[in-house]
Chain A
Amino acid sequence: GAVVSQHPSRVICKSGTSVKIECRSLDFQATTMFWYRQFPKQSLMLMATSNEGSKATYEQGVEKDKFLINHASLTLSTLTVTSAHPEDSSFYICSARLSGGNEKLFFGSGTQLSVL
């Protein structure tokens, strides 16, 4: 299967700082990447859809100015959590879809964010 790399795997930061998470498709090109958030014992919640070369599409209730998404190339999307607060602490997971109509999603390893 396709490989999606996500870094860092774990971040601990102080309240008010910004955190950048990278998501790379290693062996395929991904025109579309997705960012999910998962709280303990809950399912994946889609935050936004990242499209290469255009603005991301955010789900209802997700603040686009707080969660900045950049998809500058066919293999890289970044999520920046700006001015992080303790309530932003969560498991963030990116996923990518193979270009060409294949709907299967391949997930990165996830980033556990803890905001103190």
Chain B
Amino acid sequence: QKEVEQNSGPLSVPEGAIASLNCTYSDRGSQSFFWYRQYSGKSPELIMFIYSNGDKEDGRFTAQLNKASQYVSLLIRDSQPSDSATYLCAVSVSYQKVTFGTGTKLQVIP
């Protein structure tokens, strides 16, 4: 079982819709959870982080964490073509190590 799992996609949504990206992780001791956006040929950019169960909102982005289910998600409201990218879920068990999922490719169709 992979430590951090994501559906590779592509996930296609029409412009203006809500995009829902999901991630599961295997280590129950995981403490910190991150979402990064990566455009093709570029390095990842941190867009959200969450430490506690529940929802965290920042602009059009909402991160959701359910530690009991070992599940973290990212919602993007009012999706724009510029949101088209690969979204990486990252999980930190200890201070020293962050493990990345393989990423979900999002395509926002104009």
A49, A91, A106, A107: most-surrounded residue (chain B CB, <10 A): A107
Interface residues of B in 7-47 (CB under 8 A from A): 32, 34, 36, 41-46
Q: Which residues of A contact B45 (CB under 8 A)?
A: 107
Bound complex: CA A32 to CA B90 (Å):
18
Asked whether any CB of chain B lies closer than 8 Å to the CB of A101, the reply is: yes
- Closest partner residue, chain B, to A110 (CB atom): B43
**Residue-wise interface mask of A (82-116) relative to B, using a CB-CB cutoff of 8 A (1 in contact, 0 not):** 00000000010100000001011111111010000
Q: Distance in Å from the Cβ of A13 to the closest Cβ of chain B?
A: 19
Partner of A93, one of B34, B43, B90, B98: B43
Minimum CB–CB distance from B94 to chain A (whole Å) comes to 9
**Chain B residues closer than 8 Å to A104, beta-carbon distance:** 34, 46, 49
Q: Count A-side interface residues using an 8 Å CB cutoff.
A: 21
- Enumerate A43-70 residues with CB–CB distance to B below 8 Å: 43-44, 46, 49
Q: How far is the CA of A32 from the CA of B96 in the complex (A)?
A: 8
B97 at the interface (CB under 8 A from A): yes
Q: How large is the interface on B (under 10, 10 to 19, 20 to 34, 35 or more residues)?
A: 20 to 34
| Cβ-neighbour of A103 out of B32, B88, B99, B100 (below 8 A) | B32
Contacts of A107 in B (CB 8 A): 36, 43-46
Are A1 and B102 also in contact (CB < 8 A) when A46-B97, A103-B92 are? no
Distance (whole angstroms) from the CB of B78 to the closest CB of chain A: 23
A residues in contact with B44, CB < 8 Å: 44, 93, 107
Contacts of B103 in A (CB 8 A): 43
B95 lies within 8 A of A103 (CB): yes
Residues of A within 8 A of B36 (CB): 107
**Whole-angstrom CA separation of A32 from B103 in the bound complex:** 24
For this complex, 10 residue pairs linking A to B, each with C-beta atoms less than 8 Å apart, are: A42-B102, A46-B98, A49-B96, A49-B97, A93-B43, A103-B32, A104-B46, A104-B49, A107-B44, A110-B43
